[in-house]
A and B are shown apart, each in its own frame.
Chain A
Amino acid sequence: MTASANPLYRLVAALVLSVIVIVLDQRTPWAEPVRHVLGYLTAPVHYIAHFPVDSGQWLSEQAQSRSSLMEENQRLQRQSLILEQKVQRLAVLEAENVRLRELLNSSADLDANVLVAEIIGVDPDPNRQELVINKGTVSDVYRGQAVLDAQGLIGQVVDAGPLSSRVLLLTDASHAMSVQVNRNGVRAVLAGNGQTGLRLLYVPDTADIEVGDLLVSTGLGQRYPRGYPVGTVTTVRHQSGAPYAEITALPTARIDRASHVLLVQPSDAPARPLMGENANAQ
């Protein structure tokens, strides 16, 4: 019987294999196939774990009274009217923006398609701020894709499995992105604090950033699309003697309340508006 083999050899084999896999996973993309194959087996577990939540929602929807449904219908109709009116203005602004950009010799990519996905899991490890969504490479989700909800950016896809994907949240301690203040265009690096907030890194003490400022994505780094709201500044603290101001922000997206998210599909033309702008400015 093979059971008589010394388990110590197997332990050594498993340890060596583990270390190799860890290094491969961290330094190279070669561990991806393993992850991909195991993804077929882990996705059903996430789907089943989400099932009670799903069926509970379905039940409460079925059990709603006619009057509350009518009320909701009216509210949504009003909302859609308001949104339609805003979209009318947006079309004009967009056209104007494109004309102005043409004058500057830079192209614009304001349009982007989105894919709707449902959140089916949250990372059980408090050290990682990640979500699991119910769309994978089968639905053309890819690593690095930007994820947002109706209010703003949520994060990016870090691991696209076949049937489900993992989304790294903006608030994760290992996440950072380039943002600018909507009011005056001051750029800064926005990082997660590992809990529910964000902080701006390396902002000079004299920078013009105030409480309540809206931070929008810049599109630098070619990962996030430009111009989506990311966070609102909540505190600005200037310390005498410290080289940088201490600025914290909260995400505009309702990360802890969202049940559906949008994945941004890239538009066909890979435009680089900011590069063109810089070249022109000089």
Chain B
Amino acid sequence: MRSDRPSGTGVIIVSLLIAALLEVVPFPEAINWIRPEWMLLVLVYWVLALPRRIGVLWGFGVGLYYDVLVGATLGQWGLAFALGAYVMLAAYKRMRVFTSLQQCAVVFLLIGTVSLLAYSVQESVGRTSYPPYTILYASFTSALFWRPVCAVLRWVQLRFLVR
């Protein structure tokens, strides 16, 4: 079918930028612990929705952007996002038939794993002062927000004909 021509790259980028905004919008100190990984959630959605277009290299690029945004070691999240995108590419067929609870569990494991990877890079350069299990809070809230993010982006995808 010729209608398969890719379209809507701008919409994908705008959705990622809005996620970036949610990442840095000021919140009370206590809520920072449970701030969901918005950019990773949005990236995971687009990988699952458009596995032929959005893949590992997108993950790497978005991760580098995230590194500069939050001032992390350059490449730390690039590594994590690329790995996350790869795992989702490998599992997207299964993810589509999972129930929402199973999907949330997968998102929790995925975000927990790649955050741990990023954390270990950060620790190797000596920029951590809290124990590694603290990243689980954000992974958990990310999993809670997976379905709402999915619903919103699904609507966006249909509304703006992103293929």
Contact = CB atoms under 8 A, between A and B. Distances in A.
Interface stretch (B60-68, B96-104, B145-153, B155-163): B60-68
Given A10-B57, A21-B78, A124-B27, 19 more contacts: A7-B89, A8-B86, A10-B55, A11-B82, A15-B83, A18-B82, A19-B75, A21-B64, A21-B75, A25-B74, A46-B69, A48-B21, A49-B24, A124-B35, A127-B122, A127-B129, A132-B71, A174-B126, A195-B129
Contacts, number: 134
Given A14-B60, A22-B76, A38-B68, A127 B128 contact: yes
B114 to A, nearest CB: 12
A9 to B, nearest CB: 9
Interface in B82-99: 82-83, 86, 89-90
13 contacts: A7-B86, A14-B57, A17-B60, A17-B78, A18-B63, A18-B75, A25-B74, A38-B65, A46-B24, A48-B21, A49-B26, A53-B26, A127-B129
A39 B13 CA distance: 16
B112 interface: no
B75 A25 contact: yes
Contacts of B89: 7
B89 to A, nearest CB: 5
A123 B75 contact: no
A42 B79 contact: no
A159 B70 CA distance: 11
B146 to A, nearest CB: 19
B17 interface: yes
A50 interface: yes
A31 interface: yes
Contacts of A21: 64, 74-75, 78
A18 B121 CA distance: 11
Contact of A45 (B20, B26, B64, B76): B20
Which of the listed residues B35, B68, B82, B90 has the most CB atoms from chain A within 10 Å of its own CB?
A: B68
A127 to B, nearest CB: 5
Interface residues of B, number: 47
Q: Chain B at the A interface: mostly helix, strand, loop or mixed? A: helix
B127 A127 contact: yes
A204 to B, nearest CB: 26
A11 B23 contact: no
Nearest to A48: B21
A128 B127 contact: yes
Top 5 nearest A-B pairs by Cβ distance? A194-B129, A21-B75, A18-B79, A14-B82, A25-B74
Contacts of B86: 7-8, 10-11
B19 to A, nearest CB: 10
A111 to B, nearest CB: 32
Contacts of B127: 127-128, 173-174
A119 B125 CA distance: 26
A221 interface: no
Given A127-B127, A127-B130, A195-B129, A31 B26 contact: no
B23 to A, nearest CB: 6
Interface string A205-225: 000000000000000000000
A41 interface: yes
Given A22-B73, A126-B130, A14 B56 contact: yes
Contacts of A130: 71
B26 A121 contact: yes
Contact of A42 (B60, B68, B128): B68
Contacts of A31: 74
